[in-house]
Amino acid sequence: MGSNAPEVLGLSSGQAKERLLRYGYNTVEGRKRLSDLEILLNQFKNPYYLLLLFTAILSAFLGEKTDAVVIVSIILLGSLLDFWQERGAYRTVEKLLTVVKTRATVIRDGEEKDVPLEEVVPEDAVVLRAGDMVPADGVVLQAKDLFVNEALMTGEAYPVEKTTGSTLYMGTHVVSGFGIMKVLKTGRNTEYGKVVEKLRLGKGETDFERGLRRFGYTLLEVATLLILLVFAINAYYNRGVINSLLFALSLGIGITPALLPAVVSIGLSYGARYMARKNAIVKRLASIENFGSMTVLCCDKTGTLTEGSMEVYTVKNILDEDDERIALLSYVNSCFQTGYKNPVDEAIKKSFGTLDISQFQKLDELPYDFNRKRLSVLVKKGEESLLITKGAYSHVLEVCKYAQVKEKVIEIKEVLGKIEEVYARYSGQGFKLIAVAYRLFGGESLNYEDEKDEVFLGFLILHDPLRKDAKELVEKLLSLGIELRIITGDNKLVAKYVAERIGLKGEIMSGGDFEKLSEEALVRRVRDTSVFAELTPLQKDRVVTALRKAGYVVGYMGDGINDVAAMRSADVAISVENAVDVAKETADIVLLKSDLNTVIDAVLEGRRIFINTMKYLFMQTSSNFGNVFSMAGASLLIPFLPMLPKQVLTANLLTDSAVMSIPTDRVDDDWTKSPKRWNIEFIRRFMLFFGPLSSIFDYITFIFLLYVLRVNQETFRSAWFLEGLFTQILVLLLLRTQRIFIKSRPSPLLMLTVLTVGIVGLILPFTPLGSMLELRPLPTPLYAFVLWITLLYFISVEAVKKFFYRKYNF
């Protein structure tokens, strides 16, 4: 367990298991895992399914038992196919999420153990360090400079110091220091759990989800009106009330986007699996589509544009000379600090690890925070107490009254020009500078007012080289319609150097500039500003908010406590595997390695999934919508039901089998070159162009069958069944691309399912199942007619498509 709290023994493993059974998992949203039964029942959310089942059962009571059994069987078979696909998608994503599960450090059996956050139980002793999530409500048993951000609960942005006996709340996070807490309440019994239960907190709908929901409602309303019309016409002509109702409801299932949830789920799971192979774990599936619409990416330079391997380059005093005292004092400061773990301290300890600091004894500490941007440690050496401070140059400078030149201590104002000169020289070359200062101290404990009258000693100079492909990555983002914004706590000169090296153009703004701008002015400025330097966490959040107000879809890549507020405000939050817990918990996607290439892959995958979902809607709103109009007209012109309900449902089932492979389809490069957002107007136009075109060919078909060939009703239905099936599955191959069909290859699975469904449709009338469905083999001339009309429709769609995309852009 270490030396921090040897007397805290915590629970035994057996006690923890018993409490987990008694109190349940430590989650605020109940049981997140959907059972197979719940996934199956979700397939029946479409009200037309339920109405159709009810009507089919009613028809069985009225004597039509065979038809009722066939209809119910078709519905159940279709639902089982959808269930199997959606279950596979859900379970795949579930497995991927376990890779980046947030964990808590608890004391079990007398030693520290990492356990999943949801397995924390009442009476657990939880060890807290900087960056950790507070996993439950509890009380502090031990604390050392423990500061907690409680903004989620109180709205207060500044960290609150916690001492022994203080209360801690679930959902808050540790900013700095060390502590051990005793858990009192978990899950929905916590204060955070009560808030969630009351307000149903959580990230709101994405633009894509909102668009799908609204469009689904629109189709549902239109379908309802058409169904009532079709039912009324057929009932008026005495074609049987039950049969007319079954027929109308069958059409409703065809037009409503019943498969939309399954298509989206399957597409997202494919995307999540693809991203996992690219070293990224998607935590929130809907965020993949947000990646597709992202127009600006905000990130720090460290680890994304640079190698992420911080190294000490040199140490320089005020006279730009090497100085061992700076190395020694910075090493002492880094070794004794217990707060926020960071690459600067790791680099210092690695570089100066051979120095002997055994004569120093730690007395107290003022941990680093992102407002002070400095860290002070009080140590004792012999009879002398020494306060050592290191941090950002401007923030250390403000507590210094003196400066040391050689062995002489003088007023800092006498050498301020020399200090600025050294600072500017190395910062301008892209180095990160950490200022070091000290003063003799009289006591053995610290408070923040003690950071004053210090002696400025010099600089620790660190180097993190630019990635060789950094410029290329920035150009690649721009080619995809995504602007890059560097948002960093580093100084302005370093940020400017990096921006120039990677070819990033635009203004540079520092944190100090923010105070002079109103919100409206900031919204205007962010459009032309590419680098934001020397920012506090709240200022980072302001930048993200301003970018969103300026009309951007914002992605934010962060890994530290100081990034969390901005990540929560962004449309897409990205983190990395080695980030602090609270950053990973906030993220929508977690990269297993910090690499902009992975972000670019996510963007392209997001666009691919978005476009494949649109393909389903294109088909739904053209061929299917046209079919309903055709059936409505046919009901007026034809003296019998144009198609039996079981035939309509069978055609829907076969078409759905082809549609389910859309998420695997290839996407043309032309469609992934720019951000994609939901465009209801484009879909309406698409529907108005291609829906009536489908109806025209349906009318040609039934007029030819009825008035030219004068076929009987069984042959009519069988021919129309085959023509409708062929046109629906083949048009899928056309509407999946804006190019000419032969210039855009579909995925092998899509091509296979389309061909398979077509073959099944051809041989079905020759089978016993076809007899049950009352489908009959056609005379050879009729097969030729069906193929001819399908080919003509194929050519017409290509011609209209060319005209449509010349006029409207997707």
Return the higher-pLDDT residue of 341 and 187.
Answer: 187
How many domains does the chain fold into?
Answer: 4
For residue 26, give its domain range: 13-32+101-199
- Residue 199 is predicted with a pLDDT of 44
Same domain (yes/no): 295, 218: no
pLDDT band, residue 202 (cuts 50/70/90): very low
pLDDT of residue 3: 40
Structural domain contains residue 1: no
Evaluate whether residue 78 is within a structural domain. no
CA distance 735 to 723: 18
Task: Kindly report the backbone phi and psi dihedral angles of residue 575, in degrees, each rounded to the nearest multiple of 5, phi listed first.
Answer: -140, -175
**Mean local confidence (pLDDT), 419-447:** 91
pLDDT, mean of residues 158-169: 86
Considering only 335-339, 489-493, 560-564, 780-784, which range has the smallest mean pLDDT?
560-564
Question: Among residues 448, 463, 478, which one ends one of the domains?
Answer: 463
As to burial, measured by CB atoms within 10 angstroms (0-12 exposed, 13-18 middle, 19+ buried), residue 723 is buried
What is the phi/psi pair of residue 439, to 5°? -160, 150
Residues contacting residue 204 through CB under 8 Å, at least 6 positions apart:
none
Pseudo-torsion of CA 791, 797, 798, 801, nearest 10°?
A: 180
> What is the percent of the chain where pLDDT is above 90?
28
Given a cut of 60, whether residue 511 has pLDDT beyond it is yes
Segment 243-301, tens digit of pLDDT: 777 777 766 665 665 556 666 777 777 777 777 777 777 777 667 777 888 899 998 87
Q: Is residue 476, in this structure, part of any structural domain at all?
A: yes
> Does residue 450 share a domain with residue 473?
no
Q: Show which of 400, 433, 463 is a domain's final residue.
A: 463
Segment 716-740, tens digit of pLDDT: 989 989 988 898 888 888 888 888 8
Residues 628, 774: one domain?
Answer: yes
Active site residue 300: yes
Does the pLDDT of residue 762 top 50, yes or no? yes
Spot the catalytic one: 67, 124, 300, 490: 300
Question: Are 376 and 445 members of one domain?
Answer: yes
Confidence of residue 356 (pLDDT cuts 50, 70, 90): very high
Q: What is the DSSP string of 547-594?
A: HHHTT--EEEE--SGGGHHHHHHSSEEEEETTS-HHHHHH-SEEESS-
Closest CA to 695 of 638, 633, 785: 633
Residue 356 CB partners (closer than 8 Å, separation 6+): none
**Residue 377: pLDDT above 90?**
yes
Residue 500 identity: E
The amino acid at residue 530 is S
User: Residue 589: which pLDDT band, with cuts at 50, 70 and 90?
Assistant: confident
Please give the pLDDT value at position 759: 94
199-214 in b/e form (b: 16+ CB < 10 A) is eeeeeeebebeebbee
Bigger pLDDT: 745 vs 580 = 745
770: buried, middle or exposed (CB in 10 Å: 19+, 13-18, 0-12)?
middle
For residues 120 and 116, give the distance between their C-alpha atoms in angstroms, rounded to a whole number: 7
Rounded to whole angstroms, the Cα distance separating 649 from 647 reads 5
Euclidean distance between CA atoms 170 and 153, whole angstroms: 9
Mean pLDDT computed over 2-23 = 78
Going by C-beta distance under 8 Å and a sequence separation of 6 or more, which residues neighbour residue 768? none
Shared domain check, 292 and 213? no
Distance of alpha carbon 262 from alpha carbon 84, whole angstroms: 10
Q: Is the CB of residue 250 less than 8 Å from the CB of residue 652? A: yes
Distance, in Å, from the CA atom of 439 to the CA atom of 452, rounded to the nearest integer, reads 9
Residue 322 has pLDDT above 60, yes or no: yes
Residue 200 has pLDDT above 50, yes or no: no
CATH number of the domain that residue 339 is part of = 3.40.1110.10
- Note whether 126 and 237 are same-domain residues: no
Which is more confident, 683 or 716?
A: 716
Top pLDDT among 223 and 702 is at 702
pLDDT of residue 121: 94
pLDDT value, residue 766: 94
Q: Which two tokens stand for residue 522?
A: 């900031």
Condensed to tens digits (0 to 9), the pLDDT of residues 324-350 reads 999 999 999 999 987 666 788 889 999
HSE at residue 49, side-chain half, CA atoms within 13 A, is 19
Same domain flag for 582 and 699:
no
Which range of 64-68, 232-236, 542-546, 575-579 scores highest in mean pLDDT? It is 542-546
* Same structural domain, 587 and 629: no
Q: Which residue has the higher pLDDT, 583 or 455?
A: 455
How high is the pLDDT of residue 5? 42
Does residue 405 fall inside a structural domain? Answer: yes
> What token pair was written down for 433?
């500078």
**Residue 55 vs residue 473, higher pLDDT:** 473
Judge if 521 and 545 occupy the same domain: yes
The CATH number of whichever domain residue 124 belongs to comes to: 2.70.150.10
Assign 633 a pLDDT band (cuts: 50, 70, 90): confident
Helix spans in 204-306 (H): 207-236, 241-255, 260-277, 287-293
Domain co-membership, 660 together with 527 = no
Q: Which of 331-335, 548-552, 673-677 has the lowest mean pLDDT?
A: 673-677
Residues 720 and 737 in one domain: yes
Residue 394 φ/ψ region, left for φ over 0, alpha for ψ in the -120 to 50 degree band, beta for the rest: alpha
Q: Is residue 633 part of a domain?
A: yes
More confident residue, 31 or 310: 310
pLDDT band at 188 (very low <50, low <70, confident <90, very high): confident
Task: Among 463, 498, 523, give the residue marking a domain's end.
Answer: 463
Q: Are 670 and 794 found together in one domain?
A: yes
The answer to whether position 640 is within a domain reads yes
What is the distance between the alpha carbons of residues 786 and 761, in angstroms, rounded to a whole number? 12
**Closest to 732 in 3D by CA, of 658, 652, 651:** 658
Residue 520, Cβ neighbours under 10 Å: how many?
Answer: 10
pLDDT value of position 66: 66
Question: Could you give the 3-state DSSP secondary structure of residue 28?
Answer: coil
Question: Model confidence over 108-134: pLDDT tens digits?
Answer: 988 889 898 889 999 999 999 877 889
Mean pLDDT in residue range 672-696: 83
* DSSP three-state, residue 454: strand
Question: Residue 41: inside a domain, yes or no?
Answer: no
- The mean pLDDT of 401-421, rounded to a whole number, is 93
- What CATH number has the domain bearing residue 713? 1.20.1110.10
Structural domain includes residue 237: yes
Q: Answer whether residue 669 shows pLDDT above 90.
A: no
Residue-wise pLDDT tens digits, 637-657:
777 878 777 887 788 778 878
Q: Give the pLDDT confidence score for residue 2 in this predicted structure.
A: 39
Mean pLDDT of 487-491: 83
> With contact defined as beta carbons under 8 Å apart, do 754 and 728 qualify?
no
The pLDDT value recorded for residue 635 is 73
CATH code (residue 292) = 3.40.50.1000
